[in-house]
């Protein structure tokens, strides 16, 4: 389904999103009408709307739009995209009146997917703290990695430190504890929830230092926690017990009703 401000979206209203591609979004897994970290998703929308459009977002109204799309039972992936249908390439400096596009897609069964094998690539997204709709660079690197036989790409910043994947945050494990990379990346809601469960420590992690870690995992709202089996030629333990422990603890987090 697709609705704009609580009503069926008209194709012409998507032109700005398709051609200008200026806006931001959040994606959440809804299970039986509830979302893990809903407050984090909503705060992200508020924060990013201020950053991109200089205006406040009515979060109560956003929730009412989202509620229309949420089934009473089962799981679905819900995406809330904020953009202004009236803005185009020639009028980006105009006063913004952002709208909320609500879309859904099927969710998986929630089981942990198979481990990732990823290739490192030098890349830092534009304004990484904002979850923007401009995903060209991230998706280009994912495609190149898959064409080369990998599952995805792991970004490395200009100092040689690892940061994130295109649609997931990175966690590492050393001495039985999580290590969260210090770098410029998009702070995901799943990352924040996992850090609340096991704070661990944060530090700059150079790509050349990955051999000093026992394991690594990816995290986002769609998959929860997913093991990483290798980065380039560095093999990691996808069966490390802390990965399973974090995945189970994340699944057990109580959700909030949309």
pLDDT of residue 1: 86
Judged against a pLDDT cut of 90, whether residue 149 lies above it is answered with yes
Domains parsed from the chain with CATH numbers: 2-106 (3.30.470.10), 116-253 (3.20.10.10)
Q: What is the mean pLDDT of residues 155-176?
A: 97
Judge contact between 181 and 188, C-beta under 8 A. no
Instruction: Give this prediction's pTM.
Output: 0.95
Q: From residue 78, how far is each of 2, 33, 107 by CA, in Å?
A: 10, 11, 9
CA distances from 6 to 3, 99, 202 (A): 6, 10, 41
Rounded mean pLDDT of the chain?
A: 96
Cα–Cα distances (Å) from 164 to 22, 49, 132, 182, 207, in that order, read 22, 23, 15, 10, 12
Tokens matching residue 142? 């994912």
Say whether pLDDT at 138 is over 90. yes
User: Do residues 178 and 216 make contact, with C-beta atoms less than 8 angstroms apart?
Assistant: no
Instruction: Count CB-CB contacts under 10 A for residue 92.
Output: 11
Taking CA atoms, 154 is separated from 26, 85, 134, 137, 139, in Å, by 21, 33, 18, 12, 12
pLDDT, tens digit, 9 for 90 and up, residues 200-239: 999 999 999 999 999 999 999 999 999 999 999 999 999 9
Q: At what angle do helices 241-251 and 189-197 cross, to 10 degrees?
A: 110
Could you tell me the pLDDT band of residue 84, with boundaries at 50, 70 and 90? very high
pLDDT band per the 50, 70, 90 thresholds, residue 36: very high
CA torsion 135-140-146-151 (nearest 10°) is: -30
pLDDT digits 0-9 by tens, 166-179:
999 999 999 999 99
Helix 38-53 vs helix 59-69: angle between axes, to the nearest 10 degrees? 120
């Amino acid at each position: 389904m697709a609705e704009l401000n609580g009503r069926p979206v008209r194709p012409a209203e998507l032109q700005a999103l398709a051609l200008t591609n200026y806006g931001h979004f959040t994606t959440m897994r809804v299970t039986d009408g509830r979302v893990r970290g809903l407050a984090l998703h909503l705060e992200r929308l508020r924060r990013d709307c201020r950053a991109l459009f200089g205006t406040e977002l009515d979060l109560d109204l956003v929730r009412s739009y989202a509620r229309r799309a949420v089934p009473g039972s089962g799981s679905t992936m819900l995406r809330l995209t904020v953009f202004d249908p009236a803005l185009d390439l020639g009028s980006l400096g105009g006063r913004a009146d952002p709208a909320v596009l609500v879309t859904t897609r099927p969710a998986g069964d929630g089981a942990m997917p198979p481990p990732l094998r990823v290739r490192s690539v030098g890349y830092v997204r534009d304004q990484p703290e904002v979850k923007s709709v401009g995903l060209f660079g991230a998706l280009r690197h994912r495609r190149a990695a898959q064409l080369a036989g990998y599952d995805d790409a792991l970004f490395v910043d200009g100092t040689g430190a690892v940061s994130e994947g295109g649609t997931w945050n990175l966690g590492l494990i050393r001495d039985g504890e999580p290590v969260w990379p210090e770098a410029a990346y998009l702070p995901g809601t799943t990352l924040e929830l996992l850090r609340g469960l096991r704070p661990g420590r944060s530090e700059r992690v150079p790509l050349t230092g990955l051999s000093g870690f026992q394991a690594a995992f990816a995290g986002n709202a769609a998959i929860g926690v997913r093991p990483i089996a290798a980065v380039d030629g560095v093999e990691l333990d996808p069966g490390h017990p802390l990965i399973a422990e974090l995945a189970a603890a994340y699944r057990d987090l109580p959700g909030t009703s949309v």
